């Protein structure tokens, strides 16, 4: 199978192309286990936001280094815009929207179990919402990522920041 030119030229991104990417979903795991281990929810958000900040800082630094090496006069501003873009995107796509979604799935599952005409054993009733939350994670990632791409491409990335180069639009499928 032949690779496209874009996939060959694309720089390896440790935050998006390695298992480190899953740290951004730590809060979804925390939300899923909210009723069993409520004390782990807040730390799961710390891990997820830590991932977001690390990715944003690295993105800004890489952008700055590239700009300096190419002699760009806008390297500082471009790196700030790249940092902000990454931080906003990661915060929305990795933490806020998925966390709220999983929280709602778990709450709705718990509500459904309580209102079910079937009587479940206590242990089963306690774990059904957690398993439902965990099972929904793979199904929400791509739609949320595309929705956030669409949002960013039509808001933040359309702004011509003073003293900065134009912000590159996402090349992904950004249709909601």
The residue ranges of every structural domain in the chain are 16-158
Q: CB within 8 A of 115, min separation 6: which ones?
A: none
- Closest C-alpha to 153, from 138, 127, 173, 139: 173
* pLDDT for the residue numbered 16: 80
Assess contact for 126 and 35: CB atoms under 8 A. yes
* pLDDT for the residue numbered 54: 96
CA-to-CA distance for 18 and 6, rounded, in angstroms? 18
The two three-digit tokens of residue 76, written as one number:
């500082």
Task: Using the predicted structure, report yes or no on whether residue 12 has a pLDDT greater than 50.
Answer: yes
CA-to-CA distance for 164 and 176, rounded, in angstroms? 28
Position 166 confidence tier, pLDDT thresholds 50, 70, 90: confident
- Vertex 93 angle, CA 92 and 97, to 5°: 65
* pLDDT for the residue numbered 160: 76
Read off the pLDDT of residues 121-144 as tens digits, 9 standing for 90 and up: 999 999 999 999 999 999 999 999
* Helices 41-69 and 75-90, packing angle to 10 deg: 160
Residues in the chain, overall count: 176
Task: Using the predicted structure, report yes or no on whether residue 175 has a pLDDT greater than 50.
Answer: no
Task: Using the predicted structure, report yes or no on whether residue 112 has a pLDDT greater than 70.
Answer: yes
Read off the pLDDT of residues 57-70 as tens digits, 9 standing for 90 and up: 999 999 999 988 98
* pLDDT for the residue numbered 134: 96
The more confidently predicted of residues 175 and 108 is 108
Distances (CA, A) of 123 to 11, 35, 38, 127, 136: 47, 12, 17, 6, 20
* pLDDT for the residue numbered 176: 41
Model pTM?
Answer: 0.83
Position 9 confidence tier, pLDDT thresholds 50, 70, 90: low
* pLDDT for the residue numbered 100: 96
Task: Using the predicted structure, report yes or no on whether residue 1 has a pLDDT greater than 60.
Answer: no
* pLDDT for the residue numbered 8: 53
CB half-sphere exposure, 24, CA atoms < 13 A: 27
Task: Using the predicted structure, report yes or no on whether residue 171 has a pLDDT greater than 80.
Answer: no
């Amino acid at each position: 199978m032949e690779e496209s030119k874009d996939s060959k030229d694309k720089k390896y991104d440790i935050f998006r192309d390695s298992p480190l990417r899953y740290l951004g979903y730590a809060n979804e795991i925390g939300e899923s286990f909210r009723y069993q281990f409520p004390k782990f929810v807040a730390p799961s958000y710390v891990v997820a936001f830590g991932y977001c900040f690390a990715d944003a800082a690295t993105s800004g630094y890489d952008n700055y280094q590239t700009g300096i090496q190419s002699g760009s006069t806008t390297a500082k501003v471009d790196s700030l815009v790249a940092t902000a873009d990454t931080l906003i995107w990661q915060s929305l796509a990795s933490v806020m929207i998925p966390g709220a979604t999983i929280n709602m799935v778990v709450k709705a599952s718990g509500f459904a179990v309580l209102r079910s005409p079937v009587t479940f054993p206590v242990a089963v009733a306690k774990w059904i919402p957690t398993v439902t939350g965990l099972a929904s994670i793979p199904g929400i990632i791509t739609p949320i990522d595309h929705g956030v791409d669409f949002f960013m491409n039509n808001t933040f990335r359309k702004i011509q920041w003073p003293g900065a180069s134009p912000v590159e639009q996402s090349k992904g499928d950004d249709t909601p």
